[in-house]
Structure 1
Amino acid sequence: MSRMNTDLDNVLDTRLALRPIGIDDYSAVRHLHTTSLRAQTYGVLSDAEVVAFVRLVYSPAYAAILMKEDVYGAWLDGELVGTVGWQANGGNGLIARIGCIFVRHQGYGIGRRLLAGVEGRAQQCGFSRLAAGVTANAVPFFQRQGYALASRGRKTLSLGCTLPVTFLRKDTPSPRSALN
């Protein structure tokens, strides 16, 4: 590991705080989600798909979407620099669905820390199977974190917003088997 990476890790270890997102944070969440999606999906999503997502984010329906998940934020010196959410997937409650990871700046380990945090929370709640539906630009990140390609398709976020996604899965050690 280079000295720069070590220094950055030390800064993040001491100054980055992961905590649940509350309704009072939604304005910052909306700004982060629209700016990071625009910047990080250039060439992956069409202009119409980006516009539809931005419209959704600034609509009242987005608050309802956020409230369905346990959303966590990464705060650096009081500024929201990343978010991720998770929830039980479907009716069977056997798989935890990891939501999109939004980070202000890629490549600094913030997304990795957010993902590890929600994976740990999901495991603590008894989930050993994880699933995610992500845009094409995020696939390599998830694969580096141990996720495998399951399929490709479209994810409907609202009536006017569907995005092309890659569905990924990851099996983790069961919390019960780790105790044996």
Structure 2
Amino acid sequence: MSPSHLRPLRDGEIPALVALHGASFAALATAYPPSVVPAYRAMLEAPDYVPEVLASDIWVAERDGALLGSAGWLPQPDGAARIRKVFVHPDAARQGLATRLVRAAEERARVAGHGRFVLRAYLGAVPLYESLGYVADRAGERHVGGGVTLPVLFMRKG
């Protein structure tokens, strides 16, 4: 198996990216009730999801033409960079790919002048972010539609 490489998201890859996000969330959803996964998939298919994704500097991990992961960042009004859309396909999980993706997003944000980072972590991803130096800021919620709300943890670094 060849190693994965990181690169910017390309035009035409949105369907593969959305499928990746769905598969990744479903694998991490063990921290939530099973009814959450269909609501999350519906959110991914909503018309406002793609523009929201494209508002960020999204890069992907690719191996042999398949998208294995994604992560991006978005500048915040307070000068921080929000790390977002961190997803890894279940087949590539636990191989250090999320760490590579987050660190690469942080570096791109640093180059753009941002030294502080914030993010909204799904509960299953909190240990990953803690290992990367993020600390809990406050508990919160993520509305995914259909009246479904997920508990999340807002975290910060720097």
TM-score scaled by length of structure 2: 0.90
1:95 lines up with 2:80 in the alignment:
yes
Runs (4+) of structure 1 exceeding 4 A deviation are 157-161
Corresponding residue for residue 24 of structure 1: 12
Corresponding residue for residue 61 of structure 1: 48
What pairs up with 1:40-119 in 2 under 5 angstroms?
40-42=28-30, 44-89=31-76, 91-92=77-78, 94-104=79-89, 105-119=92-106
Pair 1:83–1:140, CA change in 2 (3 A): same
What is the number of equivalent residue pairs in this alignment?
A: 156
* Alpha-carbon shift at residue 156 of structure 1 (Å): 3.7
1:149 lines up with 2:149 in the alignment:
no
Identity %: 30
Pair 1:156–1:68, CA change in 2 (3 A): farther
Deviating more after overlay: 60-69 vs 126-135: 60-69
Cα distance in 2 for residues equivalent to 1:160 and 1:70: 29
Cα distance in 1 for residues equivalent to 2:49 and 2:151: 19
Cα distance in 1 for residues equivalent to 2:73 and 2:59: 9
The AA in structure 1 aligned to 2:37 is V
Cα distance in 1 for residues equivalent to 2:147 and 2:57: 24
Cα distance in 1 for residues equivalent to 2:23 and 2:84: 17
* Matching residue within 163, 168, 179 for 2:155: 168
Partners of 1:20 and 1:71 within 8 A in 2: yes
Cα distance in 1 for residues equivalent to 2:44 and 2:11: 14
Cα distance in 2 for residues equivalent to 1:158 and 1:88: 25
Partners of 1:38 and 1:50 within 8 A in 2: yes
Pair 1:161–1:65, CA change in 2 (3 A): farther
Cα distance in 2 for residues equivalent to 1:125 and 1:159: 37
Corresponding residue for residue 176 of structure 1: none
List gaps (5 residues or longer) in structure 2: none
Partners of 1:84 and 1:102 within 8 A in 2: yes
* Alpha-carbon shift at residue 49 of structure 1 (Å): 2.5
Name whichever structure is richer in helix by fraction.
Answer: 1
Larger Rg: 1
1:146-172 residue CA offsets vs partner (Å, 9 max, x unmatched): 11111111134568564211111100x
List gaps (5 residues or longer) in structure 1: 1-10, 172-180
Root mean square deviation of aligned Cα: 1.8
Partners of 1:32 and 1:103 within 8 A in 2: yes
